[in-house]
Structure 1
Amino acid sequence: MMPPNTITMRRSKCTLLLLALLVAASMQGAYAHMSMIYPLARGLPINPYTTAPDYNCRDAPLYDGCGGGTGKTFPCGGYPPDKQVVQSFEAGQMINVTFGNAAYGSPGEPALTPTSDQARHSGGLCEFSLSYDQGGTFGVFARYHVSCPDMFYNWTIKLPDNLPACDNCILGWSWIGAVGARPEYYMGCADIKIVSTLNGSLPPELASTPLRMANMPGYPYYFAPGDKFGNLRGNGPNSSELAANMRGATGGPDTHPFPPGGPDPQPMLTKRKKGKGTRRML
């Protein structure tokens, strides 16, 4: 029979090991997805003007239950507007969008390598949009299919030349992933000012190009076409789509063969306690 002290020490070691595994699992869950980090999006802890810094669910998809209940919601993850609009762009200006998550891509985080698990889920469809009515209407002006997102690259978009001036608009990024535990929809929103000599609202050609809505209540569920690189570094922006985005053709026609979609494969996710972060991952 072992002495009581030996039994107590073994139990303590087992307890410490279990706690370490739980911490590692929770951290890995927090790293499991992707966010737009430039322009600075609502909810990002690195955004000094965010109203609600989110340390647990910043990278999570919409309606996955992260943080309790339904989780983040459309539009913009449900995050409130920034305290102050300080990001300013001119009509016709090019913007190099970048991505990151709680593991990579932000100041002070480890350097990204070609074999880093950046949780890009084999890419999918990225759409970039603008809203002049605080999220009531989004008009798509740029797209990247298959290989987006990927932290290794700048994803260059060009604001339309005919944009009217706006003191408080939303630049939206949305992503339908190519693989995952279930079909997912991500969205990040940056509060921006648009400088222009024109006045008015969202141009008609943008207002008539809506977001492709999927993988949330009331819409079909499906995966977007992706690449073969999984969570590793991919091939980056397609040159023809980059050229189309530069000439205001929204990355070319959205004619990629999407499946017809179906009902939510997991209509009732297991509810998580508030603040525990994302648990499901690829």
Structure 2
Amino acid sequence: MMSIFASAAVLLSALAVMTDAHVSFRFPCPRRGPYWECPQPGPNEWNLVDYDVRSPAGTHGTIVSPICKHPSSFAGTRPTFQAGQTVAAQMDVGAYHMGGSCQWALSYDNGANWVVFQDYFQSCLSNATQGTTFTLPFKIPADAPSGDAIVNWIWNNNEGNRELYSSCSDVVIQGTNGGSLSGVKPLFANYGPNSPFIQEKALANGNWGKAFFDARPPITITVPKVSKRELMRRLVNRITNSD
């Protein structure tokens, strides 16, 4: 366990780094996020805390990090959402860049495949205020299968450098035991030189990337049905990890 002085130093470091960042989830917690309400690192994991969690995953010139930035969260309880539930997500806003276009996607295989379940084009975050927590709801699909999943918030900003933001949260979905979820694959624009390019809104003359979003290919992901024994094992693991 960290001493009170080490904990204070970590907090001050987080505040210093994050003042220059932009936007991420605060709830549900982003992977390895520095927020007090998120799963905390183990004794030897404090160097893995992401104090720059609000920074973009990439620009049109450079891929800065993988889409989820980190391969996993710290051990701890994942929030549980019901299929069909509207979640009042809390976004930690450093700079809102006059809004932009958002996509929400689910993955059940640790990010190998994504299906978009909600969009909000051009005006996403346009009413946010810099330096605040902003509520941005999303709705879990009513037909979402049960299982451990990742919710990914993906955002292309309207103003400033041509960037892609991506914030991944590990969650548990309670829905149908086994099934499929259909939609479209996410658009990862302004994410490296080979990605689609979306211009600043003020310079785009109305071409804010709609053609790219309309061209997203369809995808169906299937989650196998789980036996009662396996469901019980997972429940025990979750209880154990929450201690």
TM-score category, normalised to shorter length: 0.5 to 0.7
How far does the alpha carbon of each residue in 1:43-78 deviate from its partner, in whole angstroms, 9 at most, with x for none?
2111224673112x21111136xxxxx774232123
Q: 1:213 is matched by which residue type in structure 2?
A: F
| Closer/same/farther in 2, CA of residues 122 and 97 from structure 1, 3 Å limit | same
Query: Which residue of structure 1 lines up, in the alignment, with residue 66 of structure 2?
Result: 74
Distance 1:49 1:79 in 2: 16
Q: Which structure shows the higher strand fraction?
A: 2
Q: Is 1:222 aligned to 2:198, yes or no?
A: yes
5+ unaligned residues in a row in structure 2: which ranges? 1-14, 213-243
Structure 1 residue 138, shift from structure 2 partner: 1.0
Query: Which residue of structure 1 lines up, in the alignment, with residue 137 of structure 2?
Result: 156
Distance 2:70 2:156 in 1: 18
- Out of 167, 171, 177, the position equivalent to 2:157 is 177
Query: Which residue of structure 2 lines up, in the alignment, with residue 100 of structure 1?
Result: 92
TM-score (ref. length: structure 1)? 0.56
Query: Which residue of structure 1 lines up, in the alignment, with residue 98 of structure 2?
Result: 122
| Larger relative contact order (Cα-Cα within 8 Å, sequence gap ≥ 6) | 1
Aligned ranges 1:1-282 → 2 under 5 Å: 27=16, 30-46=19-35, 47-49=38-40, 52-55=48-51, 57-63=52-58, 72-101=64-93, 118-149=94-125, 150=128, 151=132, 153-166=134-147, 168-180=148-160, 182-200=161-179, 202-203=180-181, 205-206=182-183, 209-217=184-192, 218-223=194-199, 225=201, 257-258=208-209
Structure 1 residue 30, shift from structure 2 partner: 3.7
Is the CA contact (8 Å cut-off) linking 1:176 and 1:214 kept in structure 2?
yes
Is the CA contact (8 Å cut-off) linking 1:34 and 1:100 kept in structure 2?
yes
TM-score (ref. length: structure 2)? 0.64
Number of aligned positions between the proteins: 180
Distance 2:34 2:26 in 1: 10
Is the CA contact (8 Å cut-off) linking 1:128 and 1:140 kept in structure 2?
yes
Distance 1:164 1:89 in 2: 11
Is the CA contact (8 Å cut-off) linking 2:30 and 2:169 kept in structure 1?
yes
| Closer/same/farther in 2, CA of residues 92 and 224 from structure 1, 3 Å limit | farther
Distance 1:92 1:29 in 2: 33
How far does the alpha carbon of each residue in 1:20-57 deviate from its partner, in whole angstroms, 9 at most, with x for none?
xxxxxx948743411111111112111224673112x2
| Closer/same/farther in 2, CA of residues 38 and 195 from structure 1, 3 Å limit | same
Quote the RMSD (CA, aligned, Å).
2.9
Is the CA contact (8 Å cut-off) linking 2:25 and 2:167 kept in structure 1?
yes
Distance 1:28 1:48 in 2: 20
